[in-house]
Chain A
């Protein structure tokens, strides 16, 4: 199953094994990862599962949809060109090894 590496703001990295048919947010919360809040539970409403995608992976992700784009303007930490909402990234085998940085804060 694809694995994802999350890098915390203090530089520590955390490895999360994922299972099929879930989003990055779901994998992170199931793993108990600190730093992903997901207050709305994955309904693309709250912008509290914000991540920064490692540059080398950016082009391999599906494009940002309109809803997600608007929500990203409301993230607590600064929006950067590589900002995404992890609830909108569905895990596929091609994403094995994905590297995501966590923002300083989600609210």
Chain B
């Protein structure tokens, strides 16, 4: 050790080792006690189960997210290190890329999903939310996941992308594979990948220019190839990013918001009293539930982080959900408070890789919650909520509710 100049106290030996598996079913069922253990153990921990470093406090998660030169994405944002293993699919040109390559592709998606574009789609998204509430008011009792959290994004996002009507049933299963694949080689990941070929085939086909309706987000990405911003072979892979990350995430975001508002009736009442809180009610649900729970980075060099030395080529697991409830950063972190100042939460990440579709998510969340709160007096949970298990996403499989019209 001394010969190489590395002090014996550095590396995994100097940080607390924890014997927790943040990808097993018991953890998914109730991650909060483990999140607290991870935060309290130290600013940087080591997880022996998967031989990775972990950060669960807000400050360190934020620091790792905002130092992409040291904590890179091009070696994969899951456990698998693309330098050592062949990725299960061709890597994403944006999520699994570093500057300068990332800068170019990121600019394209930022433009396609910009605040200006959101102004153009807002009325359409709001009208679809009203239609969904019409249908729910007819039903009175329904599953808030299938009939609301899934049905609403499915009624707008594939059309906004410009997808053909046929085959859309592959979209949510495909996204589920993508997010399971960031996890370790456990049963969830292995089974998801084993069953993925029909979904992959569908997605690869829909990303082609001829299959995307003019005027949609997909066509806009291909138009960027004409403008020279990307190549014609890159365009389909960037469309794939929207297919991977644009639907299941908002399903879980809207599901989280409805689950919160159904569990905390006093917050529902506050929203009903002031509909301008709808957007923040959604944002606070993203902080509180963190639909995307974790992402990995890989170190490009030896680095010191809050006193811990991490060697080159190490995987670092960021617990976004734990950071979003770190008492060092948030007052009463375990309360869902729709008037909270949510700015700075890492539910959408932070830094250069921060969710490029965040404006779409917020728009969907805002117009859906506005429509619900304006026309529904009460939401009552009428059966045991069932959890959906995924290595990265947190959400429900089923949430039986009964609503009372306003």
Residues of A whose CB lies within 8 Å of any CB of B are 29, 32, 37-43, 45-47, 67, 70-71, 73-75, 107
Cβ contacts under 8 Å, A41 to chain B:
343-345, 350, 354
Cβ contacts under 8 Å, B341 to chain A:
29, 32
Q: Which of A32, A42, A107 contacts B279 (CB 8 A)?
A: A107
Closest 8 CB pairs of A and B: A74-B115, A74-B116, A38-B343, A47-B115, A41-B344, A43-B354, A73-B116, A29-B343
Shortest A87–chain B CB gap in Å is 10
Shortest A19–chain B CB gap in Å is 16
Cβ contacts under 8 Å, B356 to chain A:
45
In the complex, residue of chain B having the shortest beta-carbon distance to the beta carbon of A43? B354
Cβ contacts under 8 Å, B358 to chain A:
39-40, 45-46
Cβ contacts under 8 Å, A39 to chain B:
283, 342-343, 358, 362
Cβ contacts under 8 Å, B348 to chain A:
40
In the complex, residue of chain A having the shortest beta-carbon distance to the beta carbon of B62? A41
In the complex, residue of chain B having the shortest beta-carbon distance to the beta carbon of A106? B279
Cβ contacts under 8 Å, A43 to chain B:
350-352, 354
Query: How far is B345's CA from A74's CA once the two chains are assembled, in angstroms?
Result: 22
Q: Which of B110, B279, B345, B366 contacts A45 (CB 8 A)?
A: B110
Would you call B119 an interface residue if the criterion is a C-beta within 8 Å of the partner chain's C-beta atoms? yes
Contact B115 A75 (CB under 8 A): yes
Query: How far is B345's CA from A38's CA once the two chains are assembled, in angstroms?
Result: 11
Would you call B164 an interface residue if the criterion is a C-beta within 8 Å of the partner chain's C-beta atoms? no
Query: How far is B350's CA from A43's CA once the two chains are assembled, in angstroms?
Result: 7
Would you call B111 an interface residue if the criterion is a C-beta within 8 Å of the partner chain's C-beta atoms? yes
Would you call B114 an interface residue if the criterion is a C-beta within 8 Å of the partner chain's C-beta atoms? yes
Query: How far is B283's CA from A45's CA once the two chains are assembled, in angstroms?
Result: 15
Cβ contacts under 8 Å, A29 to chain B:
341, 343-344
Contact A70 B343 (CB under 8 A): no
Contact A70 B351 (CB under 8 A): no
Query: How far is B116's CA from A75's CA once the two chains are assembled, in angstroms?
Result: 8
Within 8 A of A (CB), among B110-146: 110-111, 114-119
Query: How far is B344's CA from A74's CA once the two chains are assembled, in angstroms?
Result: 21
Q: Known contacts A29-B343, A39-B283, A107-B279: does B354 contact A74 (CB below 8 Å)? A: no
Within 8 A of A (CB), among B258-282: 279
Query: How far is B363's CA from A39's CA once the two chains are assembled, in angstroms?
Result: 12
Would you call B359 an interface residue if the criterion is a C-beta within 8 Å of the partner chain's C-beta atoms? yes
Cβ contacts under 8 Å, B114 to chain A:
70-71, 73-74
In the complex, residue of chain B having the shortest beta-carbon distance to the beta carbon of A87? B343
Q: Known contacts A70-B111, A71-B114, A74-B119: does B351 contact A45 (CB below 8 Å)? A: no
Query: How far is B343's CA from A75's CA once the two chains are assembled, in angstroms?
Result: 17
In the complex, residue of chain A having the shortest beta-carbon distance to the beta carbon of B346? A41
In the complex, residue of chain A having the shortest beta-carbon distance to the beta carbon of B349? A43
**Can you add 12 more A-B contacts, CB < 8 Å, to A39-B343, A70-B111?**
A38-B343, A39-B342, A41-B343, A41-B354, A45-B354, A45-B356, A46-B358, A70-B114, A73-B115, A74-B114, A74-B118, A74-B119
Cβ contacts under 8 Å, A37 to chain B:
343
Contact mask for chain B residues 352-369; partner A; CB cutoff 8 A; 1 contact, 0 none: 101010110010001000
Query: How far is B351's CA from A16's CA once the two chains are assembled, in angstroms?
Result: 26
Cβ contacts under 8 Å, A73 to chain B:
114-116
Query: How far is B352's CA from A29's CA once the two chains are assembled, in angstroms?
Result: 21
Cβ contacts under 8 Å, A70 to chain B:
110-111, 114, 116
Query: How far is B359's CA from A47's CA once the two chains are assembled, in angstroms?
Result: 10
Cβ contacts under 8 Å, A75 to chain B:
115
Cβ contacts under 8 Å, A32 to chain B:
341
Cβ contacts under 8 Å, A67 to chain B:
110
The contact sample of 21 A-B pairs, CB cut-off 8 A, is: A29-B344, A38-B344, A39-B343, A41-B343, A41-B345, A41-B354, A42-B344, A43-B352, A43-B354, A45-B110, A45-B354, A46-B115, A46-B359, A67-B110, A70-B114, A71-B114, A71-B115, A73-B115, A74-B114, A74-B117, A107-B366
